[in-house]
A and B are shown apart, each in its own frame.
Chain A
């Protein structure tokens, strides 16, 4: 089941630069998308989300972009900090109101921010 794909298993960036994490999806019924960050031995921590009625959502250093026609979303982190080093999961959901409760996750991208 590859409905949500994160094709880069890892990404390494320098502190202060931009990190761009990518996610593709195949199910056109998905209408809500979330990014989670996960440190080892911890649960996923919610970062930012976007509804399919928007193409951009920003929260501090984190911005998520959604391209519905390409079924692609990306997470931008600017500027990147060493504390951002973690695994980032993209997740998608069908039916914002009264739809499925299930989050479908990608495999994750391990981000390393070098000082």
Chain B
């Protein structure tokens, strides 16, 4: 069964460094998302991406964050200058155009900022 994949599974970085989290959405999906879950808290929406542009973003998704679909298969989340509070699980998700609204999630990348 097709699935969303994410790399790396765990990323450790120093505060102030740039990180790029990578995702390969399901191949016929057209909508892409990033969510995050800080330990002990809810899963929170960051951004949605469709037709090569951001379609919606949350207040969390400030200028330090950016997303890109550099080729036909990858979808990336870049954090330009990481802060301690960026430590969280980051989940990529995708959905087809025709499905009602189910978003299919990847296994996540655990980001630890030291």
Within the assembled complex, what's the spacing in Å between the Cα atoms of A104 and B101? Answer: 13
Q: How many residues of A contact B (CB 8 A)?
A: 24
**Among A45, A93, A106, A108, which residue has its beta carbon within 8 angstroms of that of B101?**
A93
Identity of the chain B residue whose Cβ is nearest the Cβ of A34 in the assembled complex = B102
Residues of B near A100 (CB, < 8 A) are 56
Given contacts A34-B101, A101-B33, is CB(A43)–CB(B4) below 8 Å? yes
Chain A 93-115 against B: per-residue CB contact (8 Å), 1 yes, 0 no?
A: 10010001111111110000000
Interface residue B44 (Cβ < 8 Å from any Cβ of A): yes
Is there an interface contact between B100 and A32, defined as CB atoms closer than 8 Å? yes
Within the assembled complex, what's the spacing in Å between the Cα atoms of A34 and B100? Answer: 11
Is there an interface contact between A46 and B43, defined as CB atoms closer than 8 Å? no
Is there an interface contact between A43 and B105, defined as CB atoms closer than 8 Å? yes
Is there an interface contact between A105 and B43, defined as CB atoms closer than 8 Å? yes
Is there an interface contact between B105 and A45, defined as CB atoms closer than 8 Å? yes
Residues of A near B91 (CB, < 8 A) are 43-44
Residues of A near B31 (CB, < 8 A) are 101
Is there an interface contact between A44 and B105, defined as CB atoms closer than 8 Å? yes
Interface residue A51 (Cβ < 8 Å from any Cβ of B): yes
A8 vs chain B, min Cβ distance (A): 15
Within the assembled complex, what's the spacing in Å between the Cα atoms of A26 and B48? Answer: 23
Interface residue B104 (Cβ < 8 Å from any Cβ of A): yes
For chain B residues 11-67, which have a beta carbon within 8 Å of chain A? 31, 33, 35, 41-45, 48, 50, 55-56, 58
Within the assembled complex, what's the spacing in Å between the Cα atoms of A80 and B5? Answer: 29
Interface residue A41 (Cβ < 8 Å from any Cβ of B): yes
Residues of A near B50 (CB, < 8 A) are 101
